[in-house]
Copies of this chain bind each other. A is one copy, B any other.
Amino acid sequence: MTGFSDPIVAAGVAGLPALYAAGVSPVDVTEAYLARIERLNPAINAVVELDPAGARIEARASAQRWAEGKPLSPIDGAPIAVKANIAVEGMAHTAGIKAYAGNVAPADAACVAQLRAAGAVILGTLNMHEAALGATNDNPFLGRCENPHRAGFTPGGSSGGSAAAVAAGLCAVALGTDTMGSVRLPSSYCGVVGYKPALGAIPTDGVTALSWTLDHVGVHARSVEDAALVARACGVEEGSETDEPPLAVLDLDDLVTLEPAVAASFTRTLDILTAAGWRLKRLRIDDLDLGALRRAGLLISEVEGGIEHRRALALDPEGFTPELRSLLAWGGRQTPARLAEAYRLLAESKRKILDTTMPYSGILTPTTPQRAFAFGAPIPASQADLTALGNVLGAPAFALPAGEADGLPLSLQVIGMTDGPTQTLAVRLARALAPAAVPETFR
């Protein structure tokens, strides 16, 4: 995402050291974001709790370290906000659920502690879809989060506040969580980079679980570079450099229906990549049923999420919306055989995809089959069908901004296939693809 006239916002994370060298201090950076939040957040409602005092203390400490030439890491001083299901010591840890309104986190989540150890400035917590189980961020407890590109439109979810905050320049980067696409989907709708590192690469300790089978912590950023830097600070390891085999382009014909603007943009992106010399192979995966996979992931989330919230559901059922209560109850009513079949479908689909994609460096798809839609409009069932592939595989996956159509962002997904738990090749692919992802006519 470019186009911010404020050099501090334009610098993201990776550009901050150059600003520091030019005399801007980490204190200025934090003040700039706090001022933007004050000015812009009321209309967007991405930030739900702010810690200006704490942020200022951390920014001053960072300024001191840079002045002494002893930054803790390349991200020292970067202002970061985190999704409300990630524990930040002393702040409400609600996962967007009213029942947890008074639940103040006694300690930082592991990923937040790692960010602090790297010198990051934690600004506060961000809006999200209730319990991370849904993708509109139409949250009656925290209030709707608006898409910065168009008022009255969903930012997507469940990490809608994270994507919106980054898109609006309310923080340098944001953490989100991603069970079937909850980092990449709102990144697609808000036109920012969404990065879900490999399963377990960022620890989930201190994160309210939706599904311990599928949950990932991820990063929303305005550049691939920023996302990779922050993921690294959160513990994602670099892998070894390898040759770059061809990219696989998933044949979506029988898998999912794309909105015409998304289909056109994706085709143009592929044309641009081919013209630029990329080796692209169209790939069919037999007997892959994205709808069945989505229903399996949803059932697993409803059952595992139901366990996570069991106590609160019993003590304060009214602290959950009727919609969420009904989803969790539905999961609890299924037979164990049905759940076992869901886990099996995930494992077998993963094996099938890995067998088919063995020789490829990555899989390319649009991130979402459609662009953001208005609050109140019918919710497309297939929203997360393409992102969920990344969770089933447990592989690193990026959503990359790919221009706009009628003012609403488009997005390209790349899933890295050869990194294992590391990130080297996926980041390299995303970095190389990012500029090519924007079809000329949409730039």
Residues of chain B within 8 A (CB-CB) of A332 are 335-337
Within 8 A of B (CB), among A342-376: 343-344, 347
Residues of chain B within 8 A (CB-CB) of A343 are 213, 343
B-binding segment of A32-40, A97-105, A298-306: A298-306
Question: How far is A379 from B118 in the complex, measured between Cα atoms in Å?
Answer: 56
B331 adjacent to A336 (CB under 8 Å): yes
Our pick among B212, B304, B337, B344 for the contact of A212 (Cβ within 8 Å) is B344
Question: How far is A343 from B300 in the complex, measured between Cα atoms in Å?
Answer: 11
Decide if A57 is an interface residue (CB 8 Å cutoff): no
Q: Interface code A279-308, partner B: CB below 8 Å = 1, 0 otherwise?
A: 000000000000000000000100110110
Decide if A2 is an interface residue (CB 8 Å cutoff): no
Please give the distance in Å from A306's CB to the nearest CB on chain B.
6
Please give the distance in Å from A365's CB to the nearest CB on chain B.
27
Please give the distance in Å from A207's CB to the nearest CB on chain B.
15
Q: Interface code A306-345, partner B: CB below 8 Å = 1, 0 otherwise?
A: 1100100000000000000000000110111111110110
Residues of chain B within 8 A (CB-CB) of A334 are 336
Main secondary structure on A side of the interface with B? helix
Q: Nearest B residue to A209 by beta-carbon distance?
A: B344
Question: How far is A211 from B375 in the complex, measured between Cα atoms in Å?
Answer: 44
Q: Interface code A194-215, partner B: CB below 8 Å = 1, 0 otherwise?
A: 0000000000000000001100
Q: Nearest B residue to A339 by beta-carbon distance?
A: B336
Our pick among B213, B307, B340 for the contact of A337 (Cβ within 8 Å) is B307
Question: How far is A355 from B296 in the complex, measured between Cα atoms in Å?
Answer: 30
Question: How far is A131 from B337 in the complex, measured between Cα atoms in Å?
Answer: 17
Please give the distance in Å from A334's CB to the nearest CB on chain B.
5
Question: How far is A341 from B213 in the complex, measured between Cα atoms in Å?
Answer: 11
Question: How far is A328 from B163 in the complex, measured between Cα atoms in Å?
Answer: 47
B335 adjacent to A304 (CB under 8 Å): no
Q: Nearest B residue to A307 by beta-carbon distance?
A: B337
A332-B335, A335-B332 known; A303 and B340 CB under 8 Å? yes
Residues of chain B within 8 A (CB-CB) of A341 are 307
B340 adjacent to A300 (CB under 8 Å): yes
Question: How far is A213 from B346 in the complex, measured between Cα atoms in Å?
Answer: 12
Q: Nearest B residue to A306 by beta-carbon distance?
A: B337
Our pick among B307, B335, B344, B347 for the contact of A340 (Cβ within 8 Å) is B307
List residues of chain A with CB under 8 Å of any chain B CB: 212-213, 300, 303-304, 306-307, 310, 331-332, 334-341, 343-344, 347
Would you list 13 pairs from A and B whose C-beta atoms are within 8 A, ordered by A residue? A212-B344, A213-B343, A303-B337, A303-B340, A304-B340, A307-B341, A331-B336, A334-B336, A335-B336, A336-B336, A336-B339, A339-B340, A343-B343
If A213-B347, A336-B338 are given as contacts, then 17 extra A-B residue pairs at C-beta distance below 8 Å, sorted by A number, are A212-B344, A213-B343, A300-B340, A303-B336, A303-B337, A303-B340, A304-B340, A304-B344, A310-B337, A332-B335, A332-B336, A334-B336, A335-B336, A336-B336, A336-B339, A339-B339, A343-B343
